[in-house]
Amino acid sequence: MQNLTPALSTVGIYVALNMAILLWIAAKTGQLRGKYKVSVGDGGVQHLIRIIRGHANAIENMPMFFIMLLTGALIGMPVSAAHALGLVFTVGRALHAWHFIQEDAPRWQRGGGFGLSFLAQVILLIGLLGHGLWTLAG
């Protein structure tokens, strides 16, 4: 049985970094709520609408990515692959968050952030599916 600790530790690094991204968005959302005196909802404030949507997008994408990354680590994914996928996803999520935190930001930030996150998710999905089918067929 192989030692899973390095792969699981790698997953832990990226889980922690992505949690930091979520805390960053939450803190910025709280600052905006204070600035515009909106405690619940968005108050019709465009910047608040924007940042709340960015936060929601992160919440929608992060859990399944990390379930897949953890599954990969548990079935023997190389640590280098976990680092590569975790890094690409995390850079994508940070870029995406940065786009939504700003009141007005260039589209490339959102597109680049989405693209990197999506790429990591698709590669991981294909890898897990392929490994599972290969294992069952073998």
Q: If you average pLDDT over residues 57-69, what whole number do you get?
A: 97
pLDDT category at 4 given cuts 50, 70, 90 is confident
Q: Is-contact 128 72, C-beta < 8 A?
A: yes
Any idea what DSSP says for residue 109?
Answer: H
Distance CA(91)–CA(115), nearest Å, equals 10
The domain tally of the chain equals 1
Q: Where does residue 69 rank: exposed (0-12), middle (13-18), buried (19+ CB within 10 A)? A: buried
Contacts of 50 (CB under 8 A, 6+ apart): 100, 103
Cα-based distances in Å from 95 to 7, 54, 126, 138: 25, 11, 24, 41
pTM of the predicted protein model: 0.93
The length of the chain, given as a count of residues? 138
Instruction: Retrieve residue 66's tokens.
Output: 């990390």
pLDDT of 2 > 80? The answer is no
Give phi and psi for 9, each to the nearest 5. -65, -35
For the stretch 5-15, pLDDT in tens is 999 999 999 99
CATH of the domain at 95: 1.20.120.550
